[in-house]
Amino acid sequence: MPLFNFSARTPWAWLLWLLFVLEVLFFTFWRKSLGPYWSPVLLYSVELLLCLGLAYRLRGLQLRRLVPTRNVRYRFLVGAALLATSPLLTASIIRKALVRAPIGTFSDIVPALQVYVQRFLQHETVYKPLTMFGYTFLPNYPSMQWLPFVGADLAGIDYRWWAYGGLLLGLLTYEWLLARLELPWAEWLLKAALPVLLVHFNVIIDKPMYSLTVEGLIVGFYCLLAAGIFSNSAWIKAAGLALCLLSRYSLALWVPLYGLLLLYENPRRGWLTAGLTVVGVVALFVPFLLHDPTIFFRAQLENLDVAKSAWQQIDTTAPWLGPIHLFNGVGLAPWFYDLSGTLEDRIIRLQLVHFALCTGIVVLAGGLFWYHRRHFDPRLAALLSLKAYLATFYAFLIVPYTYLASVSLFTSLFVLLLITRKQASFLGPIADG
């Protein structure tokens, strides 16, 4: 009997595992291995194939209620202990990256966050124009992108280490969920170790994510969102939604589909989740805008100027002559960069395609679910549509910063939980399927 007997029809499971491994490799060690044009095409294709293949595999199955057993606590503690080894592997690498990138040297992200936090602590108006590095701009960070760092500021901890801790806490929700699935021991142990490896690979290849940004915290929020899809708690679902909505606008187009899936699954819990999410968003964001309700939205209009600047930052040392943040191997912007027309025309063209495809993937996912609704669990549809949506959103982003796209990569961990035996205890046949 093989050690990893994931499926009654093994080729399906191994094919899906292969797609996950390819996604990780093309995002990390094989990034730009096929050049800045075709590498992101293959990465995006692999992500979509993973969603489609798993959707086909899960048709006729539903998530069973996860009942805690005596092994859950032990497995969770072991998973948490494995996750605790991540700093042992990565801390020295991050520390060296931080030394090479003092705050304010190569990026304005952390300095801007410090201004937000200081204004908040000094009871000043947070959302008012910022002036730094010789230019003035409107504040465009949602509240949960800076508010969590109040604790870091008070404790005297570098925001970037705080964000790394937020990433590990988010991945702890993955270990919590994995412990409850009652997988075979070998399969469980392999999946429990994956977050440690994924973080390590990501740190090795994408050091700027940890030295120049605080994206780890945002990834942690999305981990909570993905874990909440499996949960029966409206509070957990709402917490994940609110934190993601208040940290990045990227989720906005997918939220209506998630809301409809929640209502289809359980109307009472769906409405409660919606209500709690609205309360959270209003409580944590609206008070900061009372003095000028339009300032945050006016700030978004400045993004076109930011994109223009990024599209003109040519990396003259790279084998492919083009903007450094476009030709990085994770986004499809290079295809649009080479089109005819003015710089602004090409950016707007990509904006329109981006919006159309993100809307289209949501509509398509919703339509497919409705067509197969008697044979497909809405929770599984929510997770797979989230992954497909994030893959599309970041593949066609106007400026595909690699640290932003990491959200989609880490979401795949939760998708991977579903690649298992068809007779797995947490999956059961749909009654009328």
pLDDT tens-digit readout, 374-427: 999 999 999 999 999 999 999 999 999 999 999 999 999 999 999 986 567 888
Distance from the first to the final alpha carbon of the chain: 31
Is residue 7 scored above 50 in pLDDT?
Answer: no
Instruction: Report the candidate in 209, 202, 218 with the shortest Cα–Cα distance to residue 325.
Output: 209
Label the pairing between strands 61-63 and 427-429.
Answer: antiparallel
- φ and ψ at 61, to 5 degrees? -115, 155
Contact partners, residue 132, CB within 8 Å, separation at least 6? 108, 111, 112, 115
According to the model, what pLDDT value does residue 6 have?
41
Residue 282: C-alpha distances to residues 105, 241, 275, 278 (Å): 35, 13, 11, 6
Kindly report which listed range (34-48, 85-99, 338-352, 415-429) carries the lowest average pLDDT score.
415-429
According to the model, what pLDDT value does residue 10 have?
52
According to the model, what pLDDT value does residue 422 have?
56
pTM: 0.94
Spatial separation of the C-alpha atoms in residues 67 and 27, rounded to whole Å: 35
Cβ atoms of residues 72 and 179 within 8 Å:
yes
Cβ atoms of residues 362 and 389 within 8 Å:
yes
According to the model, what pLDDT value does residue 411 have?
98
Is residue 276 scored above 60 in pLDDT?
Answer: yes
Is residue 155 scored above 90 in pLDDT?
Answer: yes
Instruction: Report the candidate in 163, 158, 149 with the shortest Cα–Cα distance to residue 217.
Output: 163
The amino acid that residue 35 corresponds to is: G
Spatial separation of the C-alpha atoms in residues 427 and 381, rounded to whole Å: 14
Return the bridge partners of 351, or none.
none
Summary mean pLDDT of the chain: 92
C-beta atoms surrounding 356 within 10 Å: 11
Label the pairing between strands 130-132 and 427-429.
Answer: unpaired
Where is mean pLDDT largest: 127-131, 298-302, 321-325, 392-396? Answer: 392-396
Is 350 exposed, middle or buried (CB count within 10 Å of its CB: 0-12, 13-18, 19+)? buried
Taken in order 219, 224, 230, 234, the sign of the CA dihedral is: negative
How many angstroms from the chain centroid is the CA of residue 1?
A: 37
According to the model, what pLDDT value does residue 337 have?
94
